[in-house]
Chain A
């Protein structure tokens, strides 16, 4: 940790919390002016590397020096905007930074295939805006600022999803649906923040919490809670507010799907945790009631319904998208337990799920890149024609089911233990049934890939082996190997998840 903390010179390290948001924003403007897609990608790559290094450095700083509070522009909080890093948002910064970097490496061949040449620079620029927005939501300590960054990331997300129209024009309606719902969600959220401002007279999250503790709650703050939960729940694809997600993931460019699936809903989930636990207090009556009767219930329903829906999908990416909704349910269930063990299990699954879905969507992207396939039945025989990508897909798929030797198993272990600790036997049953449903839908994909023969081409000969480009294979393999590595070395992720839960639950 000391090593990470001294990764950057002290003069830079002090400003790391600001730089991690500002660099992608500035670079977005630079990327937009690049004459060629390749150059814009270069700018994006440099940015992503910088962000990854900054996120590691911030992890080092927080681990050694405790909570970082950075006053933007030198204006001290609560009047000025505060950037605040504690153990709860550090995992998210790392996730967005490192998985983001892997996705950017993957982007070059994928984007070159899917986006028109003229639009590539603009595409990378929009992506960097989205990247900056997600980092901003994660790092800011100011409630209104959360709204601003949420909108920055959302609006740019609508754009980059819509750019999937080059391959399939349904991307336009998918993006439009997301835009309508996303805007409603943002409106709900900002109304909630407005109510809180009325009740507390401050926008700083830590300050809000302090004021609320003093004054107690009333109808206004209760309404604020409801508005904020709905608004952020929509962004996090909390069942039944997930309807925008399946089509958005299915029709966006493959790189965008891989990136969003492993970061965007996670950041929204983090924001939800931040508001529920830091601003409101888990021991306040209406909050603790919402754990059992809202989060746990919608979590379990999502785990069941979305998993069943996934089983019957014909489009491979839609299948995994429904699976994502179900997996958000796992995190909601962890949150709903309202215990440190439950929340840390949810946070652990948040990180592990990013490793799984990143690899899975990258592999689907690789299949689409080489053979243009997207339906489940078209995956037939890919085990023979693209063995490496298929192997990575298999590892991540088994992880999704929760087979031992993968991080999915670790997630399930901690979630079930937390449920047992809470005495929720029904939640254990739900977790297991949902795992079996996951087995059913993953088995459909794997059966097509390994058990079927590739379709014969016109000449009657089966298509030859076609390796995915190394820039696709490398990040995909890193994620697939991470799925196994963090099973054997669960300590770092479990430690991060525990620290995150303790940061807001006040444990040790």
Chain B
């Protein structure tokens, strides 16, 4: 029987079984990749079902550790949305991985695919978790399982990057997030995600909430709020499929998703608005947005530039949470979806360029668009979406965030959002412009890029376009999470 409980269990089991299958089939590369693809497709189908049943809040208890400490899955629309983004893009990215890893003759491919499966499983765990404890557990599994992927190359540079990656992510989570989780449990008697906010319901004062909010904001290091962002640029030593799916989608989005969940279900919008720290954190997020964009402009390495762009774009979600108005939080939630599709397109393009030409510096990429027109068109579409131009998906989160900022009386923050969009134009579009209009250095490409690294970015670029038109259903699906009934009615009219 296909019950909601079974489906919740399968969301964790499919990647796990997939990982085992990949490990067993290590000697047969074609079968091994087939195992990854089959798992990805099955997971996406399963998640599609979960998306449909999410408003009914299916629940599954995984383990009862001790009295009062449970590992539990409880689905709600935000989690279903995150699971859908991660699992849907896993299919595209798996195709891309095959093209990239083979095209670049990478070593240890079995380990690569196994860790990928575990990481996706952990991302599912974060998405479905019903309390902070469960979320924390999968959050840590996600950190540990992506470490071998970051250090995949195994050279000194990769080890250095991996060290920073692990120390910042584990350090912030153990040093700040864990005490915040335990303090929440201590104050509220549980860590369950409750509509309206667990801490608000338990009458926690705004001052105590402020302390906790700061611990959460910096403890969730994966949200890359400055100054805990350096792990993300350093994670770029990983092969590009890792940067694409994990460091533009699964890992970083797990971070901001956790922020959003904590804001919505642990604090509740009213408590955040009442907490004095939220204003300060909103400004820190705004500063992150602008500053990271400025740093991105100085980077000549394409992946490094995209990484700082991600740091900037992630803070949009944190900003949305800290503004705590329904529209701003909805904007934050939509940013998770829209930025994921846009940024994965950019990363896959960067990897495709590298596979074809071994070039990673922007200054060397003159004229490449003439040889790879589809790829550069896909890149441009992704970039325009991140900038926030219609008719592309990235428009909506920015619009909602600006409205939300205005609603909550933070009109000044709109300046930061506008400034960031202008900076986005300045650092993302020159790559397209040079690609198409500058004179190429060589007469023709040394090597024709494999089909499998060109097709996936084109698919996701199309997705970005389609998402613009899907805003109605998406908003209707997510809005109930953030709005009381009257507000929802107002927004609908």
Contact = CB atoms under 8 A, between A and B. Distances in A.
A487 interface: yes
Interface stretch (B169-177, B269-277, B362-370, B404-412): B169-177
Contacts, number: 74
Given A417-B186, A420-B183, A412 B170 contact: no
Contact of B178 (A405, A412, A421, A490): A412
Interface string A432-467: 110110011001000100010000000000000000
Interface string A394-409: 0000000111110000
Contacts of A436: 171, 174-175
Contacts of B137: 404-405
A312 interface: no
Interface in A350-383: none
A258 interface: no
A443 B159 contact: no
A447 B178 contact: no
Contacts of B65: 410, 487-491
Interface in A8-28: none
A209 interface: no
Nearest to A486: B65
A439 B166 CA distance: 10
Contact of A417 (B140, B167, B176, B185): B185
Nearest to B143: A403
B414 interface: no
A33 interface: no
B328 to A, nearest CB: 31
A384 to B, nearest CB: 12
A416 B179 contact: yes
Contact of A451 (B159, B176, B178): B159
Given A421-B186, A436-B174, A490-B65, A447 B179 contact: no
A264 B137 CA distance: 33
Given A413-B182, A421-B186, A439-B167, A401 B66 contact: no
Interface string B177-193: 01100110110000000
Contacts of B141: 404-405
Interface string B131-146: 0000011001100100
Contacts of B162: 451
A405 B134 CA distance: 10
B228 interface: no
Nearest to A453: B154
Nearest to B136: A404
B232 to A, nearest CB: 20
B200 to A, nearest CB: 19
A412 to B, nearest CB: 7
B447 to A, nearest CB: 31
Contact of B182 (A420, A429, A433, A439): A420
A488 B63 contact: yes
Contacts of B185: 417
B270 to A, nearest CB: 24
Contact of B69 (A401, A413, A447): A413
B315 interface: no
Nearest to A404: B137
Contacts of B167: 439-440, 443
B335 interface: no
Which size bracket describes the interface of A in this complex? 20 to 34
A491 B140 contact: no
B380 interface: no
Contacts of B183: 416, 420, 428
A439 B175 CA distance: 10
B492 to A, nearest CB: 41
B434 interface: no
Which size bracket describes the interface of B in this complex? 20 to 34
Nearest to B166: A443
A304 interface: no
B171 A439 contact: yes
Nearest to A398: B144
B163 interface: yes
Contacts of A404: 136-137, 140-141
B151 interface: yes
A379 to B, nearest CB: 15
A440 B63 CA distance: 30
Given A410-B66, A435-B175, A403 B144 contact: yes
Given A403-B140, A417-B186, A420-B186, A435 B69 contact: no
B147 to A, nearest CB: 10
A433 B179 CA distance: 11
Contacts of A152: none
Given A413-B182, A420-B182, A421-B186, A490 B66 contact: yes
A468 interface: no
A489 B171 CA distance: 26
Contacts of A413: 69, 182
B345 to A, nearest CB: 33
Interface string A469-506: 00000000000000000011111001000000000000
Contacts of A410: 65-66
A450 to B, nearest CB: 9
In this complex, which of B67, B176, B179 has the most chain A Cβ atoms within 10 angstroms of its Cβ? B179
In this complex, which of A404, A413, A428, A436 has the most chain B Cβ atoms within 10 angstroms of its Cβ? A404
A432 B179 contact: yes
A417 B69 CA distance: 12
A420 B176 CA distance: 15
In this complex, which of A412, A451, A489 has the most chain B Cβ atoms within 10 angstroms of its Cβ? A451
A490 B66 CA distance: 5
Nearest to A446: B166
Contacts of A416: 178-179, 182-183
Nearest to B62: A488
Interface string A51-89: 000000000000000000000000000000000000000
B101 to A, nearest CB: 21
A432 B66 contact: no
Q: Which 3 A-B pairs have the closest CB atoms?
A: A490-B66, A404-B137, A420-B186
12 contacts: A405-B137, A405-B140, A412-B178, A416-B178, A420-B183, A436-B171, A436-B174, A439-B171, A443-B167, A447-B163, A487-B65, A494-B67
Given A404-B137, A451-B162, 15 more contacts: A403-B140, A416-B182, A416-B183, A417-B185, A420-B186, A421-B186, A436-B171, A439-B174, A447-B159, A451-B159, A489-B65, A490-B66, A491-B65, A494-B66, A494-B67
